[in-house]
């Protein structure tokens, strides 16, 4: 197409959502003219399914639960007054709690105020708060955020070392629905150890976000932690950022959580419409359907042209891949659905992988996220030009347009989401847009987006490894022999676990934890 044809296509297919300051441009996706007409019946099914979801239908049959993350920003839509009241009261409690911390009504025992916040969580319990913190944070924040979001000892040590003497003025928020998530449990024990080593009373500086009656709930209550905030079974981890999971850290950081919720609620209004021409989430889901052929044939590349949105690709990895990566459809047919997600940021992508995107395998579609406002207006007034009449932001805009054109010239599909500015309402709306698009797409390809048996399979496998670790260490300790891993596996009656045993023993030997490796043999040494 020539430039005028592309402009006409842009005007024809642009979805402008003025209420949230967002535009969705799908003009650089090469779908046929009748595409929307051909899929309208299926979209109407998706709208119906979404209405059922918001009304409280059991959307996760495996666990027999509702899926209600949309109620978090519009409580009156909840299926009963009790849930609506719980949501409203939790938001109020969060704001009151944060205000007391900021006003020094709640303080640590050995400091006049809380200066830092460590979030202990995994998956959605960390990704959501990280995204919000990185997007909206500044040096003016009320508290500095840090994360224990893995079970990597070195990661724990880096955070603790960075805190240094400020550990005495650090609040810890432990986030786990069940309280039994091993990565989170490990992180909690590690930070407790750090507190004990400095003669600090952990309970006086700890807060829990968990479900009522969970292991974590009981520990926090028995030990007298500062407070406990709820997690509900109808909110999944990957859609929990606008619950206490994300709102509590954001409020403590000093972010206006009402604005986050308002932005999401405004986007929900738009994406709830059953008019596909006006519904950006429906259009986004349909573009995914076209680009991937409804079978995950292409990857989703997220390219935000804004440093603060770097974590968007990581956030969407979980939201999209955990929701859509399914072995079976709703009828039990094996379909192996999903869309792989990866990304970087502009214009870093220019120097990283755009070469392949333009000239390599055409196995992706790109999504550009563009923010029109380069800087805060007060800073922009005194910002320098890098050339006469040209700012750094002008270059960023140019690089985005150039990359989009370069991809389009080679027949590579791209979508562009444009925000007027990146603030709390805009971030809330962006989160809500993708949540709704995932739900619509799931209906289009006939899968359940709200359960994740594959995650549990990985956890069970890890537990098996740790059980085997205990057995092999005990066996070597008892026998006192110096053996190859093959000999160990045979003598233990575990010949099929030889590789697992090898990795266990090699790891323990490297960390000098009772196992010595010498000339390919392993033995126990106290």
Catalytic machinery residues? 322, 351, 459
Q: How far is residue 121's CA from residue 174's CA, in Å, rounded to a whole number?
A: 6
Buried b (16+ CB within 10 A) or exposed e, 46-65: bbebbeebbebeebbeeeeb
Residue located via tokens 């990304």: 343
DSSP string, 425-451: HHHHHHHHHHHHHHHHHHHHTT--TT-
Contacts of 381 (CB under 8 A, 6+ apart): none
DSSP string, 16-45: EEGGGTEEEE-TTS---TTHHHHTHHHHHH
Residue located via tokens 């119906």: 48
Contacts of 460 (CB under 8 A, 6+ apart): none
Long-range contacts of 470-477 (CB under 8 A, 24+ apart): 472/501, 472/504, 472/505, 473/508, 473/514, 473/515, 473/524, 476/515, 476/522, 476/523, 476/524, 477/514, 477/524
Residue located via tokens 């603030």: 423
Main-chain dihedrals φ then ψ at residue 298, nearest 5 degrees:
-130, 155
DSSP string, 233-278: TTS-GGG-TTSHHHHHHHHHHT--HHHHHHHHHHHHHHHT-S-TTT
Q: How far is residue 14's CA from residue 2's CA, in Å, rounded to a whole number?
A: 18
Q: Is 304 helix (H, G, I), strand (E, B) or coil?
A: strand
- The residue among 46, 5, 29, 1 whose CA lies nearest residue 414 is 29
- Residue 251 Cα to chain centre, angstroms: 18
Q: How far is residue 452's CA from residue 154's CA, in Å, rounded to a whole number?
A: 29
- The residue among 118, 231, 107, 210 whose CA lies nearest residue 219 is 210
């Amino acid at each position: 197409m020539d430039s005028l044809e592309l402009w006409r296509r842009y005007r024809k297919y642009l979805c402008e959502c003025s209420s949230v300051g967002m535009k969705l441009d799908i003009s650089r996706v090469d779908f046929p003219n009748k595409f929307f007409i051909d899929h309208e019946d299926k979209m109407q099914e998706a709208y119906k399914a979404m209405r059922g979801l918001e009304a409280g239908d059991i959307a996760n049959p495996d666990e027999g639960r509702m899926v209600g993350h949309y109620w978090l920003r519009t409580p009156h839509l909840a299926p009963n007054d009790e849930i609506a009241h719980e949501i409203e009261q939790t938001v109020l409690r969060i704001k009151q709690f944060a205000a007391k911390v900021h006003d020094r009504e709640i303080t640590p025992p050995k400091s006049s105020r809380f200066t830092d916040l460590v979030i202990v969580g995994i998956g959605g319990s960390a990704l959501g708060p990280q995204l919000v913190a990185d997007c909206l944070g500044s040096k003016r924040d009320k508290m500095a955020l840090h994360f224990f979001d893995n079970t990597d000892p070195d990661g724990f040590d880096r955070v603790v070392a960075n805190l240094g003497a400020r550990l005495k003025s650090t609040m810890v928020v432990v986030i786990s629905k069940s309280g039994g998530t091993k990565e989170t449990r490990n992180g909690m024990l590690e930070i407790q150890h750090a507190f004990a080593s400095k003669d600090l009373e952990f309970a006086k500086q700890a807060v829990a976000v968990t479900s009522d009656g969970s292991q974590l709930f009981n520990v926090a209550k028995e030990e007298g932690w500062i407070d406990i905030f709820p997690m509900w079974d109808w909110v999944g981890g990957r859609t929990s950022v606008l619950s206490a999971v994300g709102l509590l850290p954001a409020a403590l950081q000093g972010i206006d959580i009402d604005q986050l919720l308002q932005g999401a609620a405004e986007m929900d209004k738009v994406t709830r419409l059953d008019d596909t021409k006006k519904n950006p989430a429906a259009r986004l889901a349909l573009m995914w359907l076209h680009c991937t052929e409804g079978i995950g044939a292409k990857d989703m590349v997220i390219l935000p042209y804004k440093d603060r949105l770097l974590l968007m690709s990581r956030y969407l990895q979980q939201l999209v891949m955990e929701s859509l990566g399914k072995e079976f459809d709703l009828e039990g047919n094996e379909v192996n659905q999903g869309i792989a997600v990866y990304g970087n940021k502009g214009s870093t992508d220019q120097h990283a992988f755009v070469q392949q995107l333009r000239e390599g395998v055409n196995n992706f579609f790109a999504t550009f996220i563009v923010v029109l406002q380069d800087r805060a207006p007060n800073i922009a007034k005194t910002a320098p030009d890098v050339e006469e009449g040209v700012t750094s932001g002008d270059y960023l805009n140019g690089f985005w347009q150039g990359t989009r054109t370069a991809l389009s010239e080679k027949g590579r599909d791209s979508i562009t989401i444009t925000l007027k500015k990146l603030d709390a309402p805009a971030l809330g709306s962006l989160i809500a847009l993708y949540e709704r698009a995932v739900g619509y797409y799931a209906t289009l390809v006939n899968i359940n987006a709200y359960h994740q048996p594959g995650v549990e399979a990985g956890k069970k496998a890890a537990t098996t490894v740790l059980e085997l670790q205990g057995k092999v260490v005990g066996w070597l300790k008892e026998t006192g022999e110096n053996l190859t891993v093959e000999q160990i596996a045979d003598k233990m009656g575990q010949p099929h676990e030889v590789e697992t045993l090898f990795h266990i023993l090699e790891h323990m030997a490297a960390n000098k934890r009772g196992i010595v490796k010498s000339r390919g043999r392993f033995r126990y040494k106290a």
